[in-house]
Amino acid sequence: MKYLRVLPFLICICLMSGCQQDVQSAEITQDWKKAYLDVIEDVKTENSKYALLYIDDNDIPELLISYPDKEFGGKLYTFYDNAPVLLTEWYIYRDVAFSAYSEKTGQFLLYSNGGAGFDRYDIYLLKDGKTELKSTLETTHTADGPLEFTQDGNPVSEEEFNHLIGGDTPYSFINYEEISSLLK
């Protein structure tokens, strides 16, 4: 019988802690939206484009910003530890661009065109608000020979190369008015 008297007390504590967690989750939801709006206001240009991508395995998207009208190519942000974190930025004049990502895996690619038959894909892993270079894939084409594929300097088949690139999650860009509306 003693246990039956304690049971309502335990249920009450469990319910209260669940409610507190819901309030904290709602605050975090609003925090990332406001933080991304602040970032956008600081870095926007007339023709900037935006995308929200779920790269890592949480429920807060990353913010991808593209600058099609500037020599500056783009930026990628995540929200970590209650603040926006700039993960990487790239420049069009260096022929570097955000290429692809795989949803909720942490993996994304930056593509760079080295010219003269050379292409490079840097595969990054996003975890705990930081990026780590996971692997580098390259294609080389000479006038006299076939296309060569490498991973971290080691030869791989074209099929293996294409599998390693992955990044099959589609995304599209939206304009300032659309992103502002989503984040408000």
Q: pLDDT of 48-64, one tens digit each? A: 999 999 999 999 999 99
What's the CA gap between 176 and 48, in Å, rounded?
7
| Cα gap 125→100, rounded to integer Å | 12
pLDDT surpassing 80 at residue 182: yes
What's the pLDDT band for 72 if we cut at 50, 70, 90? low
If one compares 179 and 71, the residue with the highest pLDDT of the two is: 179
* Rounded CA separation 131/64 (Å): 15
**What is the reported pLDDT for 22?**
40
What is the spatial distance between Cα 85 and Cα 29, in angstroms, rounded to a whole number? 16
Contact 159, 137 (CB under 8 A): no
pLDDT higher than threshold 50 for residue 169: yes
Both tokens assigned to 103 = 């949803």
Q: What local confidence, expressed as pLDDT, does residue 3 receive? A: 41
- For 88-141, write each residue's pLDDT tens digit: 998 765 567 888 899 999 999 998 887 777 889 999 999 999 999 999 999 998
Query: Which residues pair with residue 132 across a beta bridge?
Result: 125
Res 9 pLDDT > 70: no
Confidence of residue 167 (pLDDT cuts 50, 70, 90): confident
